[in-house]
Structure 1
């Protein structure tokens, strides 16, 4: 069994980054990690110097975005049975990847799987979503928290609270912070859409996968995710988010509510 993983960097906190590196290399499976660094300088390369099975690629200061960088890593990794997309702000126990692969091995209809995702304090991150709507994206980004109660039932529906996050479920929009693909199905449906710099690239690829194969939420193992929510803090990232949403809706169809 061949397992590859890709990790895209951009000015990351080294201490947080060490956690995902340790999680990956401590997994009791042979995983080749492909790292693409979009940072201005290759300062983070030192973290990978003495680690076996790591291919580090520095983009010479060019930030090509999440989608294109992961595609570069996937292209470098070539043939594999499974490919894992990792965020630099996650960490997990050594049993997570083996458990997910065991479940994939039991059902050949599954092309993509994701575990339960928790905040570092143990609270659930409701990252399974239904097809994006204009209102859901607007409400989550722009409506003040003190007014969220007015739309709670709608946002809970969008975030699939009704599944309880305690049973296996098919989901058409999984988070890009951790995605485990059956590689031959990923090759078939296509990699990340490079027209999306970042944001909603995960919605696009999950939707394309779920149109041919199962995209599954598997709650019996979990990862931890710091979840920086960069677009909530940066005007530039907010504009990138809006541009990605317009592209996504033009590609797949607009849905207001």
Structure 2
């Protein structure tokens, strides 16, 4: 679909919030767009605005990524369309209720969207990008995946998965030109709060970032080549230290005999 020298970006969860702002910023960077979400009316309105403001081609692709047929449709497009050069894996949901009180089917749907869809779409994009030694995959994760004390075990676990997936793909494709980034927002002013049943107004306003600021910072992180971008973290060295502590343990995580501290 693209006449742009940057190609096309496929953006999931594009109808509102983080996805809609990314669509705006990517259009202004010269990407044509394929906008994916369930709300076709919102997508159409956003597409019309971006065509007028940025002069790029914008296609709307209505899909519910928890529906296997819809997910397969988006996968096929990602895997086969060589005009696509960027995937923004943004579609996601959250639950903040008590673990035993949240409906188990809701947990399953959350995992389907936050883990299964993210994985399958990243795999489809990699199948397109890696043979051509090009392309960018941006996965929207969350700081909740780093801190179990934030008390959202299933949502946090899905986001820990997204961060690990991104890090693992960097290792697997270290010799390619595939760009990878996981963006870990903190609390961000989007509709995800209302949809999850949480009251954003109860949060300390000093801990809540505007969605425009979040996306702009994340794109600077991408430009700087960051694998993990935490827009609110003042000192990148803090995450480097966190990562260094993990790597320090690595040689002792698999050994022939149990550690001496476990001897009777």
Q: Provide the TM-score with structure 1 as the length reference.
A: 0.35
Name the one with the larger helix percent.
Answer: 2
More relative contact order in 1 or in 2 (CA 8 Å, sep 6+)? 1
Higher Rg of the two aligned structures: 2
Which structure's residues are more often strand, by fraction? 1
Structure 2 length-normalised TM: 0.35
